[in-house]
Structure 1
Amino acid sequence: MIKIWIVGSSGQIGTAINEVLDPLEVEVFNTDKDELDITETDEVLNFGEINRPDVIINCAAVTDTDVCEREPELAFRVNALGARNLSIVARKVGAKMVQLSTDDVFDGLSKTPYSEFDDTNPKTVYGRSKRAGENYVKEFTHKHFIIRSNWVYGRGNNFVTKVLDAADEGRTLAVASDQFGSPTSAKDLARIILYLIPTNEYGTYHATCKGVCSRYEFAQEILRFSGREGSLKAVPTSESDLSSERPAYAVLDNFILRIIDVYEMPEWKRSLEEYMKEREED
């Protein structure tokens, strides 16, 4: 039985992985910041050496871009040094390492989708700290999967919940019409992670749902699939109520997945509809 250590297990992606995996095939170690502090090197080493996982999936991160701008030391401690510590353990126990990353490692100034071979040039503290985490993973372990995605939503607080909360409270929400990306379900991300883990196809991957939209279009579809009447206002990023510190063009090209033809991500509207149905059933 394969042993998987999910770090940041109570977040959107950690929760989704636990929902998707087969508990009869996998022994799971779930930890979050209350159980284990990934910024404490000795704590991480002790846990890894005692439990000796076959795979470490790092879902832990400070993802709030405004918090990262205000507290850069916290961002780099968790997003960079945390990834370093987990990579050191992975190498020590011979585990595969999965590092979740983001489109924020790019500058958002492109007019065409970013592939895995494009140079990173982050403009935000969040993006810089996540790139530093990627670099540590590459430096300390060769058996790694770095998976970049964007506009991820799942169980927890995210863009979807904020749009629905505003609708339920009767508030008009100002949403950026000049930010572009590919909304991606945490469950779809969990499925590609579990697909890659048994393979030796190491490296960096872009994994987003198919299709591109603006934040404003994304919000419109959220309301449509939820059956709610909400008031949305299309505005430039500078006037947006949400997602202020984000790249304007966050579109990732799943280039590697396409050229090695191993896995195909679903269309974003279909995934959003599936998620909204599950949410209503809960």
Structure 2
Amino acid sequence: MLKLWIVGASGQIGSAINEVLDPLEMEVFNTDKEELDITDTDEVLNFGVINRPDVIINCAAVTDTDFCEKEPELAYRVNALGARNLSIVARKTGAKMVQISTDDVFDGIRHTPYTEFDDTNPKTVYGRSKRAGENYVKEFTHKHFILRSNWVYGNGNNFVNRVLHAADTKDELLIASDQFGSPTSAKDLARIILYLIKTNEYGTYHATCQGVCNRYEFAQEVLKLAGKRITLRPVVTSESDLSSARPAYAVLDNFILRIINVYEMPDWRASLKEYMDERTED
């Protein structure tokens, strides 16, 4: 039975992994900041050495970009040093390491999708701290999977749920039409993670749902699937209600997945419909 250590287990991706995994195939150790401080090297090492996981999945991060700008030391402690500490444990115990990363490692100033071979050039503290985390994983572990994704939604605070909440409380929403990306379901990320950890296809991957839209189009689709009627107005990011400063063109090309032909991500609209249908059932 595969032993999985999911760090940041109560977040969107950690929760999704727990939902889709087969408990008969895997023994799972779930930790979050209440149980374990990933910035404490000794604490992380002790947990890893005692429990000897086969795979460490790091879903823990400070993701609020505005907060990261205000608290850069905390951002680097969690996003960079936390990844370093987990990587040290992975090397010491021989575990595979999964690091969740982001499109924010790119500057977002061009208008063609970024592949895994493009140079990173983050413009925010969040992006720079996540790139530092990637670099630590590469430095300390050989058996690693770094997955960059964007516009992730699931259980928790995300664009989809903020749009739905706003639709219940406002008559009009101003949504950025100058931010482009590929909305990606946390469950789809969970599925590809659980697929990859059973392989030896190590390296850095872009893993987003297929297709591209702007935030305005994304919000339109969310409201259509929810059957909610509210006035949406496309505006620039600086005037929008729900978007903070992020890379304007956050489109990632799943280049390596395509050329090695091991896994295909679904269309973003199909995944969003699955998510919305499950919300309705709940």
TM-score, with length taken from structure 2: 0.99
Per mean C-alpha deviation after superposition, the further-off stretch among 165-174 and 105-114 is 165-174
Which position in structure 1 is the counterpart of 2:139?
A: 139
How do 1:176-195 residues align onto structure 2 when only pairs under 5 Å count?
A: 176-195=176-195
1:245 and 2:245 matched: yes
How do 1:193-272 residues align onto structure 2 when only pairs under 5 Å count?
A: 193-272=193-272
Q: Any idea what the Cα deviations from partners look like across 1:206-261, whole Å, max 9, x if unmatched?
A: 00000000001000000000111122221101111222220000000000000000
Look up the SS of the partner of 2:57 in the other structure. strand
Which position in structure 1 is the counterpart of 2:49?
A: 49
Which amino acid counterpart does residue 232 of structure 1 have in structure 2?
A: L
Which amino acid counterpart does residue 75 of structure 1 have in structure 2?
A: A
Distance 1:149 1:171 in 2: 32
Q: Any idea what the Cα deviations from partners look like across 1:157-207, whole Å, max 9, x if unmatched?
A: 110110001101124221110000000000000000000001000000000
Which amino acid counterpart does residue 156 of structure 2 have in structure 1?
A: G
Which position in structure 1 is the counterpart of 2:101?
A: 101
Look up the SS of the partner of 1:56 in the other structure. strand
Per mean C-alpha deviation after superposition, the further-off stretch among 68-77 and 240-249 is 240-249
Give 5+ residue unaligned stretches, structure 2.
Answer: none
Which position in structure 1 is the counterpart of 2:36?
A: 36
Distance 1:175 1:44 in 2: 41
Which amino acid counterpart does residue 190 of structure 2 have in structure 1?
A: A
Which position in structure 2 is the counterpart of 1:160?
A: 160
Which amino acid counterpart does residue 26 of structure 2 have in structure 1?
A: V
Distance 1:71 1:174 in 2: 28
Look up the SS of the partner of 2:252 in the other structure. coil
Per mean C-alpha deviation after superposition, the further-off stretch among 225-234 and 38-47 is 225-234
Distance 1:243 1:45 in 2: 38
Per mean C-alpha deviation after superposition, the further-off stretch among 232-241 and 178-187 is 232-241
Which position in structure 1 is the counterpart of 2:150?
A: 150
Give 5+ residue unaligned stretches, structure 1.
Answer: none
Which position in structure 1 is the counterpart of 2:116?
A: 116
Distance 1:215 1:24 in 2: 39
What count of residue pairs does the alignment treat as equivalent? Answer: 282
Task: Give percent identity, aligned residues only.
Answer: 82
Which amino acid counterpart does residue 68 of structure 1 have in structure 2?
A: C
Q: Any idea what the Cα deviations from partners look like across 1:31-72, whole Å, max 9, x if unmatched?
A: 000000000000000000000000000000000111101111
1:269 positional shift: 0.2
TM-score, with length taken from structure 1: 0.99
Which amino acid counterpart does residue 240 of structure 2 have in structure 1?
A: S
Q: Any idea what the Cα deviations from partners look like across 1:105-136, whole Å, max 9, x if unmatched?
A: 00001110000000000001100000000000
How do 1:12-91 residues align onto structure 2 when only pairs under 5 Å count?
A: 12-91=12-91
Note the aligned Cα RMSD (angstroms). Answer: 0.6
Q: Does structure 2 conserve the Cα–Cα contact (< 8 Å) formed by 1:166 and 1:230?
A: no
Q: Does structure 2 conserve the Cα–Cα contact (< 8 Å) formed by 1:150 and 1:184?
A: yes
Per mean C-alpha deviation after superposition, the further-off stretch among 120-129 and 171-180 is 171-180
Runs of 4+ aligned structure 1 residues displaced above 6 Å come to none
Distance 1:242 1:34 in 2: 29
Per mean C-alpha deviation after superposition, the further-off stretch among 11-20 and 241-250 is 241-250
